[in-house]
Each structure stands twice: as C-alpha cells, then as structure tokens.
Copies of this chain bind each other. A is one copy, B any other.
Amino acid sequence: MDSSNIARCAQLAMILEVSATPKPGNIDRDHNYSGTRFEHFLASAVGVYPVMEKAAGSGSGVGALIRGSVLESSKWQKGGNTHFGAFILLVPLVMAAGKCEDRTCLLSQVKKIVRETSSEDAIEFFRAFSEAKVKVKQVTDLDLNDQSSIKKIEAHRLTLFKMMEISGSYDIIAAEWINGFEKTFDCAISIQNKIRKYCINDAVVLTFMELLSQNKDTFIQTKFDRKKAEEVSLMAKKILEKGDIDDVRDEICLFDEKLLKEGVNPGSTADIIIAGLFVSLFEGMRF
C-alpha cells in the first residue's frame, strides 16, 4: 500500500472512532467536553496527514514523528490534546505499514520498530508530552518539564521502548508497545468480524465496550484511581451480558451519560480502537 493510502487509513481510523456513538464517557458525534469538541478531533485527524504520510514513507524517528503529529494537530484545532495516545500507537503502525502488505508483516515490523527506538526518540517524546499537555502518572524521577530529565535520559541511554516498559504495568497504551500490539490486533479482528453483521458505527461501539469491559482504562486510572477504572470495566461487562446492541443501546446511552456527568473518560480505550481501525482499513476493510 502506498504512503498516501496508509496516511488516509490513519485519518479515517481517527475520524470513525470519534464519530462512533454512544461511546461511554468519551467525545463522540453527540457529545463534547467544555473546551474540546467533536470537531476538534475531526480537524486534528485531517491535519496530521503529512506526518502520517512521512511515517509511511521515508520518515524515521518514532519520537520525532509522534512529536510532529502533536504539533501538526495543534495547527488545525484549538481544542487542546486530542490524539496523543492514538499517535503513540499509530506512528509505529503507520511506519510498519509502509513496509508491508499483510498482517503478519505488519505485526513483526511494528514490534521491530518499537524495540529499536533510541534515547533520541525518548527525548522527542518527552518534548511532545509537555507540548500536548497530557495528564500522566508520575512514576519515575523524570519531570516532564525538566531540562535535567533530558540529561538523565541521555546519561542512562533510556530508549523510548524502555520508557514504555517502565509504564507498561499500568498504562494500556505503553503495554501495547511491550506486548506486540496484542489488543490492537484483537480489536482489528473484532471490528472486521462485527462489520459483517453490523454497520461501522455499531461495530466500533461494540468493540469499544468489549475492550473497556476487559481492561482497566489508563486515562480513568490516572484521573481517578484503579478502583474507578475497575468499576467502569465491570459496568461495561454487565451491559454486554444482557444482549445484542439493539437490546442494550439504551443502557449504553445511560452508562454514557453517567460517565460524562462524572467526568470519567476512557480515552486510552479509544486510542486502541483507533489503532484497531487503522489495521482494519490497512487490511482493506471498506463499508
């Protein structure tokens, strides 16, 4: 697949994810946060095209490409951080896609790309973090706005992969890097199976609910705590057990309203859905 096709798959993955509704707690076509709206996500997804095209083509440097995505996104919308977590997954996937034609290759290439990241990638990622103003858990003695942290990265030759290893125990996005994008590819399989029976919106909503029921969302855990994230997963699980989407759509909507009211947004789950949609579109899924 050529670079332009791959970049458009990345754009469309972000656009389909944010459009899918009801997607409990998150921004979707029917729900905005104050300050960040549905349209900010659309503009961000459109805006990052050239960085994704570069990643799929001659581009190298995972950290610089993630940072480039954050900067390009912010040129196209004023809603703040929209896709930081998604870029962490999309950039290596898009780079791998540029070298591949099928899933087996994509899987082995993306593993290779993340393992081969350098401390230069870690530094660029660090800079992108503060530029994107992301909420993160402080686990190391690295301060994200601290110039001396960059020196520490250099001194310890801390690669971006190593940083993800440190966060991987509690961060489902970082864990994707460590575990060979396992959930991403599971998502892709789930979406492609579901689209045989459901419209694209419902295929995404159901896969989102399943993923949420099976994993504590990192964004919730960071903003609230582990218990809250577990509670939310259990609620998603209970709803899914009650029946097919048309039987539980109203319950998903109530769940959505509840989470939105409490400010509980499973943003990391949404990021993995984007990665899964990207893999599906790369594999030729159309609707």
> Chain A: residues with CB nearer than 8 A to chain B?
4, 7-8, 11-12, 15-16, 19, 29-30, 37-40, 42-43, 46-47, 49-50, 75-78, 199-201, 286-287
Contacts and interface: CB of A to CB of B under 8 A. Distances in A.
Given A4-B50, A78-B286, A19 B43 contact: no
A131 to B, nearest CB: 17
Contact of A16 (B12, B16, B39): B39
Contacts of A77: 286-287
Nearest to A199: B37
A57 to B, nearest CB: 13
Contacts of A76: 8, 12, 286
Main SS of the interface on chain A? Answer: helix
A39 B11 contact: no
Given A29-B29, A200-B39, A201-B39, A46 B287 contact: no
B287 A12 contact: no
A48 to B, nearest CB: 9
Given A16-B39, A19-B29, A19-B38, A8 B287 contact: no
A287 B39 contact: yes
A19 to B, nearest CB: 7
Contacts of A201: 37, 39
A47 to B, nearest CB: 6
A49 B287 contact: no
Given A39-B200, A39-B287, A200-B39, A46 B4 contact: no
